[in-house]
């Protein structure tokens, strides 16, 4: 059977499964629509959280980032996992005890302020919308590459699938689909990794293979070998630190507290029956996430080693050391047609050279070899995962599985984000602010309409991505880190924070982070509107814009604490509310409000 | 809802103590071993891994998982000790 037919069958089967789940798990009440009736088993919720969290970026792009950044990509590995420790200890159990439906709802009640609630809604919507654009793009790209349909058609199909199970099932439908999507995506990620690890190191477990000796009998460890081949080609050592410690530190911190503050992740912990389930569920979520996140470093390192070995077949600098262009492997030809891979025979020797032509120390050497510049003119990072099965010569069904896995990762995250957006609109804005007396039936209908609207907006933005689409990661995490996380944490851990403190703190954190990012990257990322060149000399204390979320959070904490000190303390009943959410007892009653 | 009982205060203090221990470990394995001390630790090998690199790309994540389950387990015991558990 040819690859395309096989891919259609595998992807079609997973889609049929998602739709089947949607029909089985329809939501009948607002409780089911917003929080799956609070009846989700903690392990199942952990699995759903894993799929909710791991996006197209985690599945497709992260290993590629690691492959080309080496040690420096550790910021993503630690940053996107360490937040779960904060979530498990600082937020999830208490917010579950509070027992309501949305994140802004907690902020509004704890700080007895509609303004606080609306500020939280705005932060939530901006962070979630920017994040969802990338997922929709991911769906379009995956379709385009594997099923050879136009990008827009891919986005439409993705929208239709999400529409069916998110509008019908709300959180209930999303939860059970996410569980299925987790299974698909983790299988698709680990199977190629196991084969590649076996191939290179004889060890089937990628996490161990990365620390093993090469299978070529040389006895050299894989990572040492990788360091060596990269240095021979003028690159930095793979395992060495290249960036500055301050920015690595702050970016990791920003990603961690941003992770803990992202509403679509937090609301997953509202779906479990008990406070103690929320704690355990965060652990399970991280187990399921760690399966992929500890495999990714192996995938990245092995992919870049395979790639370099494909091009540099012999000794560096020898006449026969590089692959003859006409004899390059089939997978390179396949990916050249997608435009993600390109080579140009700059020195006309009929062979391909891949090396660091930006390294002045290596330039003389390269010239003596007769090299006229790096000839791999385009190597898209995403190839490292997408082309991996072909590089490792795995059967076609594995390639089909990777396509289904990429789609599962993008769709599951998109659905979680869309639910966070629609519940903020129907529950926080409509019921909370504009129509407090709306009936449950009408609120459920409003939730479905908001979901449908959010899907249309997300799809439109996916097809017409604003110029800043590539920058949104910094923005989404910066917003969550600087506005939502500190407000939630102080709401639980500091009884003295009052309404003015919370509102001014959130605004200070939000605005300082937004302005800092826009200052160096242009207002709303419009090119040419930067106030200063985005260079280290201009940065405040040398902090890059991507890393500023942690500083914004600090500003939020400081402003909230100072303002609360000089204004009236929160009323008695709010202090009791805080005391009440700090103990698990009585969570059952709180949920049946 | 009533004023916090003696037990509730003790429970909260015990929780904060446990949390602080966990967060110190959280900080040390990631920011300490994985970032600030990565270069000196890289002089030590763990199989084919340099130790600092291992903490940054593997070890810190494993520690995070263990920390959450340890915290959840200890908190369940605290819940019962201070009689604030559910059901």
**Tens digits of per-residue pLDDT, B68-81?**
999 999 999 999 99
- Chain B contact for A561 (CB, 8 A cutoff): no
Distance from CA of A249 to the nearest CA of B (A): 7
- Asked if A554 reaches chain B (Cβ–Cβ under 8 Å), the answer is no
Question: In the predicted model, what is the mean pLDDT of residues A579-583?
Answer: 91
Q: Per-residue pLDDT averaged across A300-310, rounded? A: 92
Q: Is A231 an interface residue toward B (CB < 8 Å)?
A: no
CB–CB of A276 and B67 under 8 A?
no
Chain B: closest CA distance from residue A54 (Å): 15
Place of tokens 């700059």: A346
Distance from CA of A325 to the nearest CA of B (A): 34
Phi (first) and psi of residue A377, to 5 degrees: -75, -20
Non-local (6+) Cβ contacts of A222 within 8 A are A200, A201, A209, A210, A211, A212, A213, A214, A301, A302, A305, B48
Q: Which two tokens stand for residue A472?
A: 């949104």
CB A449 within 8 A of CB A519: no
Query: Does pLDDT of A296 surpass 90?
Result: yes
Shortest CA distance from B1: residue in chain A: A576
Which pLDDT does position A590 carry in this prediction? 42
> Which of A222, A276, A290 is facing B61, going by the closest CB pair?
A290
- Highest-confidence range of A248-252, A427-431, A584-588, by mean pLDDT? A248-252
Residue A124: in which H helix or E strand, if any?
A: helix A114-147
Q: Name the minimum distance, in Å, from the CA of A334 to any CA of chain B.
A: 31
Residue A55, pLDDT score: 87
- Smallest Cβ–Cβ distance between B79 and the set A239, A276, A290 belongs to A276
Interface test with B, best of A279, A281, A590 (most B CBs within 10 A): A279
Residue A247 forms contact with B (CB below 8 Å): no
Torsions phi, psi of A342, nearest 5? -150, 145
Per-residue pLDDT tens over the stretch A309-364: 989 988 888 888 899 988 898 888 888 887 788 999 998 888 999 999 889 988 88
CB contact under 8 A, B53 and A586: no
- Among candidate residues A4, A71, A202, the one with its CA nearest the CA of residue B35: A71
List beta partners, residue A342.
Answer: A378
Q: What three-state secondary structure class fits A358? A: coil
A129-173 confidence digits (pLDDT tens): 888 888 888 888 777 777 778 888 888 988 888 888 888 888 888
Q: Is the CB of B84 less than 8 angstroms away from the CB of A245?
A: no
Q: Are A25 and A176 in contact (CB under 8 A)?
A: yes
Asked if B60 and A290 come within 8 Å (Cβ–Cβ), the reply is no
Whether the CB of A261 is below 8 Å from some CB of chain B: the reply is: no
Are A433 and A118 contacting, i.e. CB atoms less than 8 angstroms apart? Answer: yes
- Strand B49-50 to B45-46 pairing: antiparallel
pLDDT in tens, B12-54: 999 999 999 999 999 999 999 999 999 999 999 988 899 999 9
Longest dimension (CA), chain B: 58
Q: A286–B68: do the CB atoms touch at under 8 Å?
A: yes
Determine the distance from the C-alpha atom of residue A270 to the mean position of all C-alpha atoms in its chain, rounded to a whole number: 21
Cβ A577–B58 below 8 Å, yes or no?
Answer: no
Give the tens place of pLDDT for each residue, A517-552: 888 877 777 778 888 888 888 888 888 888 899 999
Measure A188 CA to nearest chain B CA, in Å. 21
- Find, among A316, A33, A341, A350, the residue nearest to A166 by Cα: A33
> What local confidence, expressed as pLDDT, does residue B1 receive?
45
Contact A586 B86 (CB under 8 A): yes
For residues A92-116, average pLDDT: 93
CA distance B4 to chain A (A): 7
Query: Is residue B49 within a helix (H) or strand (E), and if so which, with residue range?
Result: strand B49-50
Nearest CA in chain A to B62: A290
Going from N- to C-terminal start, the domains of chain B cover: 10-84
CB pair distance less than 8 Å for A210 and B56: no
pLDDT at A593 over 50: no
Question: Average pLDDT of chain A?
Answer: 89
Q: What is the pLDDT of residues A169-187, one digit of tens each?
A: 888 889 999 999 999 999 9
Give yes or no for a contact between A79 and A254, defined as CB atoms under 8 angstroms apart.
Answer: yes
Instruction: State whether B60 and A78 contact (CB < 8 Å).
Output: yes
End-to-end CA distance of chain B: 18
Distance CA A74, CA A247 (A): 12
**Does A266 score more than 50 pLDDT?**
yes
Nearest to A283 among B4, B11, B69 (CB): B69
The DSSP bridge pattern shows strands B45-46 and A341-342 to be unpaired
B6-35: burial string, b at 16+ Cβ within 10 Å, e else: eebeebbebbeebbeebbebbebbbbbbbb
Tokens of A114: 């509609």
Which residue from A89, A223, A576 is facing B23, i.e. has the nearest CB? Answer: A89
* Closest-CA residue of chain B to A575: B3
For residue B3, the model assigns a pLDDT of 52
Poorest-confidence range of A2-11, A65-74, A242-251, A458-467?
A458-467
Residue A470 has pLDDT above 80, yes or no: no
Q: Min CA distance, A576 vs chain B (Å)?
A: 7
| Secondary structure (3-state) at A341 | strand
Q: Which of A93, A223, A294 sits opposite B61 (nearest CB)?
A: A294
Interface probe with B: pick from A211, A573, A575, most Cβ of B within 10 Å: A211
Q: Is A248 on the interface with B (CB under 8 A)?
A: yes
Residue among A74, A279, A287 minimizing CB distance to B75: A279
Q: Does A84 touch chain B (CB under 8 A)?
A: yes
Report whether pLDDT(A398) > 60: yes
Reported as a pLDDT band with limits 50, 70 and 90, residue A390 is confident
Most A CBs within 10 Å: which of B18, B57, B67, B84, as the mutation test of the A interface?
B57
Say yes or no for a CB contact (<8 Å) between B1 and A577. yes
Answer yes or no: do A584 and B39 touch at CB < 8 A.
no
The answer, for A494 touching chain B at a CB cutoff of 8 Å, is: no
Chain A residues touching residue B75 (CB < 8 angstroms): 93, 276, 279
Q: What ipTM describes this predicted complex?
A: 0.94
Here the tokens at position A531 are 């106030």
Secondary structure (3-state) at A342: strand
Write out pLDDT tens, residues A70-94: 999 999 999 999 999 999 999 999 9
Inter-chain residue contact A579 with B8, CB threshold 8 Å: yes
- pLDDT at residue number A588: 56
Instruction: Give the whole-number percent of chain A exceeding pLDDT 70.
Output: 97
Residues present in chain A in total: 593
Per-residue pLDDT, A471: 60
DSSP assignment of A140-165 equals HHHHHHHH---HHHHHHHHHHHHIII
Q: How far is B24 from chain A (nearest CA, A)?
A: 11
| B-chain residues near A82 (CB < 8 A) | 26, 30, 60, 64
Residues of B with CB below 8 A from A207's CB? 58
Per-residue pLDDT tens digits for A198-230? 989 999 999 999 999 998 888 899 999 999 999
Please give the Cα distance from B29 to A150 (Å, whole number). 46
> C-alpha dihedral over A129, A135, A136, A141, to 10 degrees?
150
Cβ pair A212:B47 closer than 8 A: yes
Higher pLDDT, A474 or A476: A476
* Residue in B31, B47, B48 closest to A249 by CB: B31
């Amino acid at each position: 059977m040819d690859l395309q037919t096989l891919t259609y069958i595998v992807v079609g089967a997973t889609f049929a499964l998602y739709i089947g789940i949607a029909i089985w798990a329809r939501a009948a009440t607002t409780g089911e629509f917003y929080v799956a009736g609070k009846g989700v088993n903690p392990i199942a919720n952990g699995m759903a959280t894993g799929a909710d969290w791991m996006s197209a970026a985690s599945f497709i792009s992260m290993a590629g980032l690691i492959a080309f950044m080496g040690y420096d990509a550790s910021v993503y590995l630690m940053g996107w996992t360490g937040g779960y420790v904060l979530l498990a200890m600082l937020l999830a159990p208490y917010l579950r005890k509070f027992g309501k439906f949305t994140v802004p709802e907690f902020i509004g009640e704890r700080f007895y302020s509609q303004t606080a609630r609306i500020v939280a809604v705005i932060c939530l919507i901006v962070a979630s919308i920017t994040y969802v654009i990338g997922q929709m793009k991911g769906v379009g790209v995956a379709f385009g590459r594997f099923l050879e349909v136009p990008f827009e058609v891919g986005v439409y199909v993705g929208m239709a699938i999400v529409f069916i199970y998110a509008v019908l099932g709300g959180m209930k439908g999303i939860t059970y689909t996410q569980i299925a999507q987790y299974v698909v995506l983790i299988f698709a990620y680990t199977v190629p990794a196991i084969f590649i690890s076996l191939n290179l190191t004889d060890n089937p477990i990628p996490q161990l293979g990365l620390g093993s000796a090469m299978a070529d009998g040389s006895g050299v460890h894989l990572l040492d070998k990788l360091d060596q081949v990269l240095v021979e080609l003028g690159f930095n050592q793979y395992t060495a630190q290249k960036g500055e410690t301050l920015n690595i530190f702050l970016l990791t911190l920003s990603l961690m507290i941003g992770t803990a503050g992202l509403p679509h992740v937090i609301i997953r912990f509202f779906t479990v029956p008990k406070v103690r389930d929320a704690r355990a569920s965060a652990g399970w979520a991280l187990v399921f996430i760690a399966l992929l996140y500890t495999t990714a470093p192996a995938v990245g390192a092995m992919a870049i080693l395979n790639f370099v070995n494909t091009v540099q077949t012999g000794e560096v600098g020898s006449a026969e050391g590089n692959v003859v262009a006409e004899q390059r492997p089939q997978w390179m030809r396949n990916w050249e047609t997608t435009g993600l891979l390109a080579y140009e025979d700059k020195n006309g020797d009929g062979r391909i050279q891949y090396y660091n032509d930006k390294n002045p120390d290596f330039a003389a050497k390269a010239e003596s070899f007769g090299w006229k510049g790096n000839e791999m003119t385009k190597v898209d990072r995403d190839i490292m995962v997408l082309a991996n099965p072909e590089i490792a010569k795995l059967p076609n069904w594995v390639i089909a599985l990777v396509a289904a896995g990429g789609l599962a990762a993008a769709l599951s995250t998109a659905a979680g984000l869309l639910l966070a957006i629609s519940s903020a609109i129907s529950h926080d804005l409509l019921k909370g602010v504009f129509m407090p007396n709306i009936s449950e039936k009408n609120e459920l209908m409003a939730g479905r309409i908001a979901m449908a609207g959010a899907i249309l907006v997300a799809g439109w933005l996916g097809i017409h991505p604003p110029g800043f689409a590539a920058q949104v990661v910094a923005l989404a995490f910066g917003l969550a880190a600087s506005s939502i996380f500190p407000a939630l944490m102080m709401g639980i851990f500091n009884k003295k924070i009052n309404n003015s403190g919370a509102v001014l703190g959130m605004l200070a954190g939000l605005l300082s982070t937004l302005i800092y990012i826009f200052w160096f990257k242009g207002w709303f990322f419009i090119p040419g509107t930067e106030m200063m060149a985005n260079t280290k000399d201009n940065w405040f204390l040398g902090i890059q814009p991507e890393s500023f979320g942690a500083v914004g959070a600090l500003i939020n904490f400081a402003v909230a604490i100072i303002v609360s000190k000089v204004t009236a303390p929160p009323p008695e009943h709010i202090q009791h509310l805080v005391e009440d959410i700090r103990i698990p007892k009585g969570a059952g009653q709180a949920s049946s409000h | 809802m009533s004023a916090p009982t003696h037990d509730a205060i003790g429970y909260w203090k015990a929780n904060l103590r446990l949390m602080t221990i966990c967060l110190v470990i959280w900080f040390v394995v990631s920011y300490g071993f994985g970032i600030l001390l990565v270069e000196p630790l890289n002089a030590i090998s763990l199989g084919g891994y340099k130790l600092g690199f291992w903490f940054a790309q593997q070890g810190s994540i494993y520690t995070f998982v263990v920390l959450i389950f340890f915290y959840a387990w200890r908190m369940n015991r605290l819940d019962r000790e201070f009689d604030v558990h559910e059901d």
